[in-house]
Structure 1
Amino acid sequence: MTNASFYPIGTPGQPWGADEKAQWRARQVPQRQYADDVLPALEALRADFDVVQYGTLEYAPHRYPLCAVRSRDWDPQLPGMLVTGGVHGYETSGVQGALQFLATRAKDYAGRANLLVAPCVSPWGYERIQRWNADAIDPNRSFVTDSPAAESAALMALVEPLRAGMRMHIDLHETTDSDESEFRPALAARDGKPFEPGLIPDGFYLVDDSENPQPAFQTAVNAAVEQVTHIAPADDNHQIIGSPVVAPGVIEYPLKKLGLCASISGATYTTTTEVYPDSPRATPQQCNDAQVAAVCAAIDYALAH
Structure 2
Amino acid sequence: MTATAFYPIGTPGQAWGAAEVAQWRSRQVRHRSYADDVLSKIDALRSRFDVLEYGRLDYAPDSYPLFAIKSRDWQEGLPTVLVTGGVHGYETSGVHGALEFVDRHAADYAGRANLLIAPCISPWAYERIHRWNPQAIDPNRSFREDSPAPESAALMRLVAPLSDSVLVHIDLHETTDSDESEFRPALAARDGKPFEPGEIPDGFYLVDDAQAPQPAFQQAVIAAVAKVTHIAPADDKGEIIGSAVVAPGVINYALRPLGLCAGVTDARYRTTTEVYPDSPRATPEQCNTAQATAVCAAIDYALAHP
Q: State the shift of 1:48 in Å.
A: 1.1
TM-score normalised by structure 1 residue count: 0.98
Counterparts of 1:150-161 in structure 2, within 5 Å, are: 150-161=150-161
Match of 2:32 in 1: 32
Q: State the shift of 1:5 in Å.
A: 6.2
> Matched residues in 1 for 2:107 and 2:48: separation?
8
Asked if the contact 1:81/1:115 (under 8 Å) is kept, the reply is yes
Asked if the contact 1:97/1:288 (under 8 Å) is kept, the reply is yes
Q: Does the C-alpha gap of structure 1 residues 86 and 289 become closer, same or farther in structure 2, counting only changes over 3 Å?
A: same
> Matched residues in 2 for 1:154 and 1:229: separation?
33
Residue 173 in structure 1 maps to residue 161 in structure 2: no
Extract unaligned runs of 5+ from structure 2. Answer: none
Asked if the contact 1:208/1:272 (under 8 Å) is kept, the reply is yes
**Per the alignment, in what secondary structure is the counterpart of residue 301 of structure 2?**
helix
Moved over 3 A (4+): none
Residue 296 in structure 1 maps to residue 296 in structure 2: yes
Match of 1:267 in 2: 267
Letter in 1 for 2:12: P
Asked if the contact 2:5/2:12 (under 8 Å) is kept, the reply is no
Counterparts of 1:117-128 in structure 2, within 5 Å, are: 117-128=117-128
Match of 1:17 in 2: 17
Alpha-carbon RMSD: 0.8
Letter in 2 for 1:72: R
Q: Deviations for 1:200-243, whole angstroms, at most 9, x for unmatched residues? A: 00000000000000000000000000000000000000000000
> Matched residues in 1 for 2:208 and 2:223: separation?
15
Match of 1:84 in 2: 84
**Per the alignment, in what secondary structure is the counterpart of residue 235 of structure 2?**
coil
Q: State the shift of 1:194 in Å.
A: 0.3
Letter in 1 for 2:51: V
Asked if the contact 2:49/2:69 (under 8 Å) is kept, the reply is yes
Counterparts of 1:220-231 in structure 2, within 5 Å, are: 220-231=220-231
> Matched residues in 2 for 1:159 and 1:26: separation?
33
Match of 1:60 in 2: 60
Match of 1:107 in 2: 107
> Matched residues in 2 for 1:47 and 1:287: separation?
26
Letter in 2 for 1:65: P
% of aligned pairs identical?
74
> Matched residues in 1 for 2:265 and 2:112: separation?
19
How many residue pairs match? The answer is 302
**Per the alignment, in what secondary structure is the counterpart of residue 272 of structure 1?**
strand
Extract unaligned runs of 5+ from structure 1. Answer: none
> Matched residues in 2 for 1:165 and 1:294: separation?
21
> Matched residues in 2 for 1:93 and 1:167: separation?
23
Letter in 2 for 1:37: D
**Per the alignment, in what secondary structure is the counterpart of residue 173 of structure 1?**
strand
Q: State the shift of 1:73 in Å.
A: 1.9
Q: State the shift of 1:6 in Å.
A: 1.1
Q: State the shift of 1:31 in Å.
A: 0.2
> Matched residues in 2 for 1:76 and 1:248: separation?
37
TM-score normalised by structure 2 residue count: 0.98
